[in-house]
Amino acid sequence: MLTQKHLSSAAEGEHNGCPFAVMGMELALSEPEIAGLYAAALDEARQIMAEVLERSGLNHEDAERLSSLELTIFEGKLLLFRISGDAAHLETMEREMIQVYEQWEAQHAH
C-alpha cells in the first residue's frame, strides 16, 4: 500500500510529507501561476482517486465527491506528519480513508 511506502520512507528519514500542498500554499500569494501548477497536480491526484473509485463500482458523481474527501484525508495526514514528525498520522491515514469509503458506501447503497 501507499501508506507502507510513506511509513518506511519516514522511518529512513527520506519522507517529509507532501511537497505539493506545502509549496502550493507558500507560493499561492507571491507566485499564483506556479501555485496553480501545484493545484493542478493535486487535482490530478484526486482524479486518479476518482477513477479508482469508479472502477470499484461507484458512479461518476459519487466518485468525484468521495475522491475530494479522500484527498483531504490523504493530504491532511501528510501535512500533519510534516509539521509534527509524528508517523502516527501516516499510520492512521489508510484506515481512515477506508472508513470514509465504507461509510459512504453504506449511506449510498441502493
Q: Which residues contact 81 (CB under 8 A, 6 or more apart)?
A: 6, 10, 17, 87, 89, 90
How many domains does the chain fold into? 1
pLDDT (average), residues 49-56: 95
Q: Is the pLDDT of residue 33 over 70?
A: yes
pLDDT (average), residues 77-92: 87
Q: What's the pLDDT band for 67 if we cut at 50, 70, 90?
A: very high
Supply the range of the domain harboring residue 76. Answer: 2-107
Per-residue pLDDT at 47: 98
Whole-model pTM? 0.80
pLDDT (average), residues 66-88: 91
Distance CA 65, CA 75 (A): 16
Q: What's the pLDDT band for 110 if we cut at 50, 70, 90?
A: low
